[in-house]
Amino acid sequence: MANLVSELVSGVVESVLKEILKKAGGATATKRQKRQTRSATTGRFKKVPATKAKPAKKQVSRRRTAASRSKTS
């Protein structure tokens, strides 16, 4: 009797684990790709040169005056 109960419990545990593992794998988002442009003369894909990153602009705080707050848009 105890063997039958342990077999039943192990079967249920295995099936639950399989369900959990099956659902865990496919939830990643797809990677987006930019569309490649073709050369007008050869028809092959163009090699786009890497652009340099521009330095960040310094933030300038703008003081809100009483006059600008009272304006109605």
Indicate whether this model's pTM tops 0.85: no
**38-67: b (≥16 Cβ within 10 Å) or e:** eeeeeeeeeeeeeeeeeeeeeeeeeeeeee
Q: What is the pLDDT tens value at each position of the chain, 73 positions in all?
A: 778 888 888 999 888 888 877 766 666 677 888 888 888 888 888 887 888 889 988 877 777 777 777 777 6
Nearest to 37 by CA among 28, 46, 50: 46
pLDDT in tens, 18-37: 887 776 666 667 788 888 88
Is 44:38 a contact under the CB 8 Å cutoff? yes
Query: Rounded to an integer, what distance in angstroms lies between the CA atom of residue 59 and that of residue 73?
Result: 25
The conformation of residue 33, written as its DSSP 8-state character, comes to -
